[in-house]
Amino acid sequence: MNASRLSDDAVERLAAVLAEVLATGSPDPSSPSEPSEASGAEVRRLALRGAAAILPAVLAMQQVQEWVRIRGGVAWGGLLHRRCVMVPTPLRVDAAGPPFSVGGTTVRRADRSGWELLRATTEVSAGGCHWQVTHDLARRTSVHWAAATGAGKLTDPGDGFDLPSGGRFYRLAYRDIRSWAEATGDRNPIHLLPGGAVEAGLRTGPDDVVAHGLLIAALSLAVVQPSTDRRISLRFIGSVDVPASPRSGVEAWATVAVEPGTGVVIQDRCPVLRRG
């Protein structure tokens, strides 16, 4: 199977997950819609747009997971996404050589204030273009430091604000998170195991998981088209907390909003993703 077909298949898998979320879009925060066949064509168009835009980051993240696996003794669990930058670029060869490389990935590591910080730069091809993708990840390393600060997030989302007119609200359920994990191969326990996010230093409920940063980014890129220069910069400044257990026997979900024009994603009046 050629690379173009593989890329198309990957976009279809990501788009299938996105479509389930996009179909719940509503201007009313109290009642995101049930999936509707009437809006199927538009939902699919947006889902394909978001999936194609996020594909380089997904492929690069898979390479980072491979780096973690080869390095040995380092678990994938507990790594939090902080930032992602995707830049279309000509294929380059670094003659100086990276500090560590696998599958076109270079990784730099640092320890700071009780956190292990990883910056992974990866070369991938997607959508007929070559991309340089940089992922910034972090993992809590100091239990005492986390306890002293209330086991907070790496970054604070800041003051709350209301969504401008024209924004839409979307529903995220645990099954969406599991579907994204299956489509991308990212099975970090913070996304799948209740309690995993708390253990990683996030303020979530004991029965909550956090949505994949790239799923939230794909939703943003689906709703608000990327800039014409094709460079995409994403900053994950908070977690999207999703209940993993039914409530009163009914599936529970989280509600997020996407700000029109900017693509900022908001949960509970606090931004969790910014672009640019």
The one-digit pLDDT tens for each residue of the chain (276 residues) are 445 566 789 999 999 999 999 999 988 877 666 665 547 899 999 999 999 999 999 999 999 998 888 876 667 888 999 999 999 987 554 444 444 444 578 999 899 888 899 999 999 988 888 999 999 999 888 754 344 334 444 444 444 556 667 789 999 999 999 999 999 999 999 999 998 998 888 888 888 999 999 999 999 999 999 887 789 999 999 999 999 988 777 788 999 999 999 999 999 889 999 998
State the pLDDT at residue 36.
58
Instruction: Please tell me the distance from the alpha carbon of residue 103 to that of residue 82, in angstroms, as a whole number.
Output: 22
Can you give the pLDDT at residue 7?
Answer: 78
pLDDT given for residue 154 in this prediction: 41
If one counts every other C-beta atom within 10 angstroms of the C-beta of residue 136, the result is 16
CATH numbers and ranges of domains, the chain: 3-275 (3.10.129)
Reported pTM? 0.87
- Quick one: pLDDT at residue 205? 87
From the list 198, 148, 183, the residue with the least C-alpha distance to 47 is 183
Say how far apart CA 138 and CA 81 lie, in whole Å: 7
**Distance between CA atoms of 39 and 33, rounded to whole angstroms?**
11
Q: d(Cα 1, Cα 87) in Å, to the nearest integer?
A: 26
Written as one letter, the residue type at 226 is P
CB distance 15 to 180 below 8 Å: no
How far is the C-alpha of 25 from the C-alpha of 212, rounded, in Å?
19
Q: Rounded to whole angstroms, how far apart are CA atoms 145 and 189?
A: 22
